[in-house]
Amino acid sequence: MLKKLLVVTTFLTIGACDSANSTTTTSGNSGLTEAQVREIVGKYIDENPKVIIASLEKYQQQQMAEDQEKAKTAVKDNRDRMLNSKHSAIVGDANSANYMVEFFDYNCGFCKRATPAVNQVLAEQKNIKVVFLELPVLGPSSELAAAAAITVQLKEPGKYLAFHNKLMEHNGPKDLVVINDLAKEVGITDIKFAEEIHSPEVLAAIEENRKLADDLGIRGTPAFVINDELVPGAIPYEEMVKVIKETSKK
């Protein structure tokens, strides 16, 4: 039956091409008009919906498998860029072969929900390093927060995680007043954010993160890469641990 569908669909496609050239019959010797082919296809779909659904599901599975393979290749090709950028904050066991990279936006609600799980990984999973990569996708406030966090990483890396968590905990837009207040709460007093967040190094870091995310096929936040496995979206602690264990490099 599927073969029949492919045949009539082929007729329909030919008819559509002909229609663009102001003809009303399909090419070849079928003798069918476009309207007749459309009627045949419509009737077949109505009478055999399960065949159509099965075909679509198979196609979707094939596409997902292809996308996963592309993602794995992209991750392996860009592993060094994720793990060894000088502006990336690395927390946990920096010497571990196991890693978890997070792409995030400080104004992203799903990123905020994932933050306790990420901190739990840091607290309970000892043989792993966690890499934080700012990916501001939600406008100027997000860009400002990302620039401030990268500045802290470059100037006072030991205070990055505390500042990162403060930014995640803060609800609402981030401006320079908020940035400075949160920085003071974690003991950062020597950074002139108004000036330093606009430095070429900080702006280049944000663009580098965006390019990296694009090369990995990441379209939103949060997105995790766990031991070469791309995991899009917010996931709970248990799921993080499951992927870590399944992909562990010992």
Q: Where are the domains of the chain?
A: 1-54, 79-246
The percent of the chain in helix, strand and coil, each rounded to the nearest 5, is: 60, 10, 30
**pLDDT of amino acid 2:** 42
**Tokens standing for 118?**
């990420």
C-alpha angle with apex 244: 240 to 246, nearest 5 degrees? 115
pLDDT number for residue 6: 45
Q: What is the pLDDT of residue 69?
A: 63
Residue 93 Cα distances to 125, 233, 236, 243, 250, angstroms: 9, 24, 21, 18, 13
Residue 191 is predicted with a pLDDT of: 96
DSSP assignment, residue 138?
Answer: S
pLDDT of the residue at 37: 84
Q: What is the pLDDT along the chain (250 residues), one digit of tens a residue?
A: 444 444 444 434 434 444 444 444 444 455 788 888 888 888 888 888 777 777 776 766 666 555 566 667 777 888 899 898 888 999 999 999 999 999 999 999 999 999 999 999 999 998 999 999 999 999 999 999 999 999 999 999 999 999 999 999 999 889 999 999 999 999 999 999 999 999 999 999 999 999 999 999 898 999 999 999 999 999 999 999 999 999 997 6
Say what the pTM is.
0.73
Q: What is the reported pLDDT for 203? A: 95
pLDDT at position 52, please? 73
pLDDT score for 55: 74
Paired tokens of 17: 């091409």
Q: Selecting from 3.40.30.10, 3.40.50.2000, 3.10.150.10, 3.40.50.300, what CATH number does the domain 79-246 have?
A: 3.40.30.10
Q: Cα–Cα distance between 140 and 148 in angstroms, integer?
A: 12
